[in-house]
């Protein structure tokens, strides 16, 4: 069935909704009884399927004012009131349209539609999609049902992302691997499509899709833009890494910082950062941060005559091949600390790929904290193994 609704029918439907709510101020159940004329029922059939069919979403609406006109709207799922500002911008038909697309997408097991729905990377649409997927995963008729603890995990992750978008540091986040371990009850073993990832584990296709969609870069700008945040960090992470930083050189410089979230989290935990930098000009940095537009090479060249390299540790969260090559080209011995919380051990696999053809001394680190775990690695770029081991001798290696 064609799930689209014509602009004229949509206008007529919204006019009837607006007129009804403005006049009577009664519940939507009364509205369903009183205003189910052929035109309205035809519109609903286009959106939900034939009249009388079971709608997998629990539709409940409230009255609100838009430009002086009273219009029906839908509240966010239970426990997600932090998205009320998002839902208040959207009308009933917009939300219903998204719901229908989600239902069709999961019914057909065609997750590519996610990219089509959100191709413009609109922040409100992205948050709406996440919230309505959570609502869908709760329904008994869903093929991809989640229990309450799993639903709460997703809600907490969306809340953390909303805080980051509002330029607040979240208390706690979940790693991508935690999300990939969610158990979709309605997704029977018989029809599971498993995906093998570099960590050696197999995950259901739906869990990989969800883990990758519920990621901070979905709501902070297109990948490659100066607004994009590739990795979330939390207050819990900042407190957890303090013992590690006490064993590192006293001068910390973040490179490839983006908006400066990692520096902000570390400073919030009482860790001093000498400089925060990125190769791009960052138009909207984190409120507490000044991000200098400098390449890694420029920074290394500047400090090589001012400080002993053994007194500096360079930090980054999402290293790129260009960055590693640039550090190598300086021929200066550099201690580089790569940190990850949201991406988890995915960062280690990326890092191993970057340096697989280069003899760089490495020490993998990892710590459990507050129900989570952070991963990282110390690299001795342009360093002799003996010199690297001397600098990192007090830091235990993660053997997991």
Structural domain ending residue among the three candidates 219, 244, 272: 219
> Has residue 392 got a pLDDT over 60?
yes
> Has residue 115 got a pLDDT over 50?
yes
Same domain? 256 vs 201: no
CA distance 222 to 367: 31
Residue 70 lies in a domain: no
Of the candidates 139, 141, 123, 145, the one whose C-alpha atom is nearest the C-alpha of residue 210 is 145
CATH number where 352 lies: 3.40.50.150
Tokens representing residue 78 in the block = 């239970």
Residue 314 lies in a domain: yes
> Has residue 84 got a pLDDT over 50?
yes
Mean pLDDT of 76-80: 92
Count of domains forming the chain: 3
Q: What is the pLDDT of residue 348?
A: 65
CA distance 28 to 10: 17
Residue 100 lies in a domain: yes
Helix (H, G, I), strand (E, B) or coil at 202: strand
Residue 196 lies in a domain: yes
Mean pLDDT taken over the chain: 77
Distances (CA, A) of 278 to 99, 188, 227, 289, 333: 39, 46, 12, 12, 20
pLDDT in tens, 338-389: 998 887 666 666 666 767 777 888 888 887 777 677 778 899 999 999 999 9
Judged by average pLDDT, the poorest of 130-134, 185-189, 199-203, 362-366 is: 185-189
Mean pLDDT of 14-33: 41
Residue 68 lies in a domain: no
Give the range of the structural domain holding residue 21, as residue numbers without chain letter: 1-53
Same domain? 202 vs 96: yes
CA distance 206 to 194: 9
Tokens representing residue 109 in the block = 């097991």
Residue 171 lies in a domain: yes
């Amino acid at each position: 069935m064609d799930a689209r609704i014509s602009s004229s029918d949509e206008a007529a439907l919204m006019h009837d909704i607006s007129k009804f709510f403005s006049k009577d101020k009664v519940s939507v159940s009364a509205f369903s009884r009183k205003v189910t004329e052929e035109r309205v029922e035809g519109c609903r059939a286009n959106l939900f399927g034939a009249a009388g069919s079971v709608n997998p979403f629990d539709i409940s609406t409230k009255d609100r004012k838009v430009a002086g006109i009273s219009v029906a709207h839908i509240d966010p799922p239970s426990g997600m009131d932090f998205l009320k500002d998002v839902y208040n911008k959207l009308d009933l038909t917009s939300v219903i349209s998204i719901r229908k697309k989600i239902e069709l997408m999961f019914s057909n097991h065609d997750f590519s539609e996610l990219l089509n729905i959100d191709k413009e990377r609109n922040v409100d649409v992205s948050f709406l999609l996440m919230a309505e997927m959570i609502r869908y995963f709760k329904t008994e008729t869903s093929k991809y049902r989640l229990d309450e603890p799993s639903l709460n995990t997703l809600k907490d992750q969306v809340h953390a992302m909303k805080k980051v978008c509002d330029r607040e540091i979240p208390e706690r986040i979940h790693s991508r691997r935690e999300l990939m371990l969610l158990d979709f009850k309605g997704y029977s073993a018989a029809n599971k499509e498993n995906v093998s990832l570099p960590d050696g584990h197999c995950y259901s296709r739906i869990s990989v899709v969800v883990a990758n969609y519920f990621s901070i870069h979905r709501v902070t700008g297109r990948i490659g833009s100066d607004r994009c945040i590739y990795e979330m960090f939390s207050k819990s992470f900042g407190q957890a890494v303090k013992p590690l930083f006490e064993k590192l050189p006293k001068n910390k410089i973040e490179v490839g910082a983006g908006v400066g979230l990692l520096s902000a989290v570390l400073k919030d935990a009482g860790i001093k950062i000498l400089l925060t930098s990125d190769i791009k000009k960052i138009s909207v940095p984190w409120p507490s941060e000044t991000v200098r537009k400098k390449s890694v090479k420029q920074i290394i060249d500047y400090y090589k005559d001012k400080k002993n390299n053994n007194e500096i540790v360079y930090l980054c969260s999402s290293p790129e091949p260009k960055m590693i090559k640039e550090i190598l080209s300086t021929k200066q011995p550099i201690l580089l600390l790569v940190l990850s919380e949201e991406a988890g051990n995915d960062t280690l696999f990326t890092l191993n790929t970057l340096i697989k053809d280069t003899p760089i001394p490495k020490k993998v680190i990892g710590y459990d904290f507050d129900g989570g775990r952070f991963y990282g690695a110390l690299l001795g770029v342009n360093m002799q193994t003996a010199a690297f081991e001397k600098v990192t001798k007090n830091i235990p290696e993660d053997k997991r």
